[in-house]
């Protein structure tokens, strides 16, 4: 008797429906295949392998003609990306050895700092040196050129330097994805061609738009910063207190003109046109140029232009009377982007924006039946029998459910990438996005109204901006309250090591910073100046998921403590240990006032006071300059710290003078150590021989700076260290130095640039 399976029919129906769904959604699979081809061309990663494997499986359900077309388009994308990689490699070979040349360039983007310097992204139009690079970064101190202006100048083309510290933002790789491999500092230039009418109108429109947004309110206020950031994408300066609450709530994307802004502007204009009784098909012909104009006037950033193209494809469905599909529009934009510029696929912003939209689209398609179950009214009652109030409640309730699901989908879609790139996960973003979206929509609407009223009446524009000021303040309050909720954000790093680790940063101009990573708590010894902390130290701390609770300062100069105020703003410090208050620089005085306002205890370094940082890690000041030495220079108010790192003794001389070292030897406060960390005093640096005699270290980590010359390491130090059988880490060559203690108690020091290593099986037996 033949056995009949009752499940055979259900499996057959499921396979048929799956095959039908795949055939109806071909473009997403084509976009995924093209993405995998480009990814495999750039680097043979597991993501590319699984992408190609998935397409091969899905191809069994697709028509052969479509599979053939997909292979052709995917191969074309891969070939274009291979060509782009070779072009970047060829341009890097041009500037591998720095060369001086005369050239002409057209300014395409320019930013000016409050201190008078400027930085511009320029397109090379002609050059004395052939072959030439295509794009270059220009730095200058004189009067800045205008946007779109073609200038003639001369300078030394230099390769863009890479990171010297682990976890530091790789500016060289980021700019290479944009086709920029060289930079040049120029002192003088003269105009070859003035900007054409298009560039002039663009610059004038942007200036007028920026001015109209803050008409009648203080341009330096926090509310004005929020308005400029949300409407124009004008980022606040590094370390600004406005940024941190948005970062901790996962809403920092609101500070750049992205797809959400473009979509909100389109919705605002759509509602206005519907209120004017404009037909839907006719409104589309106004909306598409309007959203491109908004993207252009705000700087034509890549996220804004991508969002404008995707919104245009989505709206074009109404013109051709087709059902709009978000996933199909996204797939078309991805394929077009890979054909035009495949390098953008590797930018974090592109991956986040495309990934979130894809997850939202998939989530909405899967949740339609689920959302219908939570109906406001009885689902068996026909809509024709509902009252107007019941219809409004139903539409509002469904809109709230849909917004909540979109916010949850965005959180799920962005979680992996935010952990990978930013070492943070923000569950509060689900609530924060729900609360901020209507506020941002109101802010954009009021900004557009104020801009329209500005040429007609400054008073009316000012009244509108006063209302917008209240909306911006509401955005700040919402993010601050959400960020203050316990568990709103978690620091989760994929790069944090299990072992306790020390990282000695390599900072420019003789700056100093050292991070101590323990099992229970983290700490910072010095933090560099404000610029070094925001651009080097802070990204590295976030990369490794470190949150310092203790800040120790060895020197009141800006190179050691200039970024301390930013440390207070970025982290929840529990204590600060500072040098004596005999000499205090402006940055040091600012730190004291900020610590007092935040109620963070600040104690003066006291010799012999041991501070327990984490199990197995303790530190104490071994030499402190006299507090009554008021006439002393700030560079001479240096504290020498001694640390016990799982039995290994470390001494941090930093910028101590030769006299300080001699005083410590005379007072018998200096004993032998395993590792000596030192900087260079600009006037009275001790010699390496004196330091080796005083501390008898097994390894020395010395900071180096080419400028000023007093901060550079003498040429004979390598030979001296070799004769004395001491391992010297010259940070001008090695970059960051990392030290880890293994489970067996051994200590390993490793450099970041040269892979120089030093291994100690056990600590020295030191005298008490």
- Residue pLDDT, tens place only, 572-626: 899 999 888 655 567 677 778 888 888 899 888 888 789 999 999 999 998 888 7
Bigger pLDDT: 366 or 339?
339
Sign of the Cα torsion 332, 175, 243, 211 reads: negative
d(CA 426, CA 436): 15
| pTM of the shown model | 0.85
Q: For the chain, what percentages of helix, strand and coil (3-state, to nearest 5) are there?
A: 50, 15, 30
The DSSP letter of residue 713 is: P
d(CA 335, CA 32): 9
d(CA 294, CA 257): 9
pLDDT of residue 6: 46
Q: Is the pLDDT assigned to residue 351 strictly greater than 70? A: yes
Q: Could you give the C-alpha distances from 291 to 226, 297, 420, in angstroms and in order?
A: 21, 10, 32
d(CA 605, CA 215): 49
pLDDT of residue 392: 81
Helix axis angle for 222-232 and 458-483, nearest 10°, is 90
Q: Three-state SS for 687?
A: coil
pLDDT of residue 1: 44
- Per-residue pLDDT of 481-506, as tens digits, reads 998 888 888 888 888 888 999 999 99
pLDDT of residue 116: 79
Across 711-734, average pLDDT: 90
Q: Is the pLDDT assigned to residue 542 strictly greater than 70? A: yes
- Per-residue pLDDT of 242-276, as tens digits, reads 888 888 888 888 887 777 778 888 888 888 888 88
d(CA 147, CA 299): 11
Q: Is the pLDDT assigned to residue 308 strictly greater than 60? A: yes
The answer to whether 758 and 739 are in contact (CB under 8 A) is no
What confidence tier does 702 reach under pLDDT thresholds 50, 70, 90? very high
What confidence tier does 310 reach under pLDDT thresholds 50, 70, 90? confident
d(CA 1, CA 3): 6
Across 146-162, average pLDDT: 91
Burial status of residue 100 (CB atoms within 10 A of its CB: 0-12, 13-18, 19 or more): exposed
Q: Is the pLDDT assigned to residue 376 strictly greater than 80? A: no
Across 697-702, average pLDDT: 93
pLDDT of residue 403: 80
What confidence tier does 750 reach under pLDDT thresholds 50, 70, 90? very high
Q: Is the pLDDT assigned to residue 630 strictly greater than 60? A: no
d(CA 79, CA 85): 10
pLDDT of residue 768: 41
Percent of the chain with pLDDT over 90: 26
pLDDT of residue 731: 93
Across 312-336, average pLDDT: 77
Q: Is the pLDDT assigned to residue 666 strictly greater than 70? A: no
Across 643-659, average pLDDT: 86
d(CA 72, CA 341): 17
Mean pLDDT of the chain: 83
């Amino acid at each position: 008797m033949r056995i009949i399976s009752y499940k055979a029919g259900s499996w057959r129906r499921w396979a048929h429906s799956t095959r039908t769904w795949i055939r109806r959604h071909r473009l997403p699979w084509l976009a995924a295949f093209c993405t995998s081809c480009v990814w495999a061309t750039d680097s043979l990663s597991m993501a590319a392998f699984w992408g190609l494997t998935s397409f091969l499986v899905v191809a069994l359900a697709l028509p052969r003609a479509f599979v053939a077309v997909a292979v052709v388009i995917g191969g074309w994308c891969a070939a274009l990306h291979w060509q782009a990689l070779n072009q970047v490699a060829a341009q890097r070979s041009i500037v591998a050895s720095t060369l001086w040349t005369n050239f002409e360039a057209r300014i395409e983007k320019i930013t000016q700092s409050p201190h008078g310097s400027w930085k511009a992204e320029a397109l090379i139009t002609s050059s004395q040196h052939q072959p030439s690079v295509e794009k270059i970064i220009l730095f200058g101190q004189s009067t800045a050129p205008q946007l779109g202006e073609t200038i003639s100048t001369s300078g030394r083309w230099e390769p863009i330097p890479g990171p010297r510290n682990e976890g530091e933002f790789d500016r060289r790789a980021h700019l290479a994805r944009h086709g920029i491999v060289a930079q040049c500092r120029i002192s003088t230039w003269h105009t070859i061609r003035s900007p054409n009418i298009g560039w002039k109108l663009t610059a004038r429109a942007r200036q007028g738009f920026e001015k109209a947004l803050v008409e009648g309110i203080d341009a330096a206020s926090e509310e004005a910063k929020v308005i400029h950031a949300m409407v124009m994408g004008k980022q606040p300066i590094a370390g600004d207190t406005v940024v941190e609450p948005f970062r901790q709530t996962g809403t920092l994307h609101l500070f750049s003109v992205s797809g959400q802004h473009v979509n909100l502007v389109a919705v605002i204009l759509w509602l206005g046109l519907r209120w004017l009784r404009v037909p839907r098909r006719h409104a589309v012909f106004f909306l598409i140029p309007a959203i491109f104009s908004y993207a252009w006037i705000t700087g034509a950033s890549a996220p804004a232009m991508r969002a404008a193209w995707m919104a245009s494809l989505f709206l074009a469905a109404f013109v051709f009377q087709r059902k709009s599909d978000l996933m199909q529009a996204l797939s078309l934009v991805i394929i077009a982007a890979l054909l035009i510029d495949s390098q953008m696929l590797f930018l974090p912003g592109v991956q986040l924006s495309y990934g979130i939209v894809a997850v939202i689209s998939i989530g909405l398609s899967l949740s339609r039946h689920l959302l219908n179950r939570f109906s406001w009214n009885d689902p068996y009652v026909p809509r024709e029998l509902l009252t107007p109030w019941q219809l409004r409640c139903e539409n509002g309730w469904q809109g709230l459910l849909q917004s909540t699901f979109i916010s949850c989908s965005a959180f799920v879609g962005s979680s992996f990438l935010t952990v990978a790139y930013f070492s943070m996960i923000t569950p509060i973003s689900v609530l924060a996005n729900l609360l901020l979206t209507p506020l941002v929509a109101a802010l954009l609407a009021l900004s557009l109204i104020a801009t329209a009223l500005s040429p007609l009446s400054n008073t009316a524009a000012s009244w509108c901006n006063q209302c917008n000021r209240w909306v911006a303040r509401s955005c700040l309050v919402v993010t601050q309250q959400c960020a203050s909720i316990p568990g709103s954000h978690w620091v989760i790093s994929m790069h944090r090591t299990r072992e306790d680790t020390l990282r000695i940063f390599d900072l420019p101009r003789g700056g100093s910073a050292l991070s101590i990573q323990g099992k229970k708590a983290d700490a910072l010894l010095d933090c560099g100046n404000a610029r070094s902390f925001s651009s080097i130290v802070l990204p590295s701390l976030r990369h490794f998921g470190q949150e310092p609770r203790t800040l120790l300062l060895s020197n009141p100069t800006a190179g050691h403590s200039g970024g301390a105020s930013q440390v207070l703003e970025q982290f929840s410090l529990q204590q600060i240990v500072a040098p004596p208050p005999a000499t205090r620089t402006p940055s040091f005085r600012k730190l004291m006032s900020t610590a007092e306002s935040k109620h963070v205890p600040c104690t003066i370094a006291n010799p012999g006071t041991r501070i327990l940082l984490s199990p197995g890690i303790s530190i104490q000041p071994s030499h402190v300059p006299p507090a009554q030495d008021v006439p002393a220079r700030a560079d001479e108010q240096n504290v020498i710290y001694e640390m016990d790192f799982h039995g290994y003794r470390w001494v941090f001389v930093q910028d101590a003078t030769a006299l300080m070292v001699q005083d410590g030897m005379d007072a018998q406060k200096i004993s032998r150590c395993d590792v000596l960390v030192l900087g260079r005093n600009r006037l009275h640096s001790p010699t390496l021989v004196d330091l080796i005699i005083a501390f008898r270290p097994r390894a020395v980590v010395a900071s180096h700076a080419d400028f000023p010359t007093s901060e550079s390491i003498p040429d004979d130090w390598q030979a001296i260290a070799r004769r004395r059988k001491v391992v010297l880490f010259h940070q001008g060559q090695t970059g960051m130095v990392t030290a880890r203690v293994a489970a067996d108690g051994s200590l390993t020091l490793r450099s970041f640039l040269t892979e120089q290593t030093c291994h100690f099986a056990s600590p020295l037996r030191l005298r008490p």
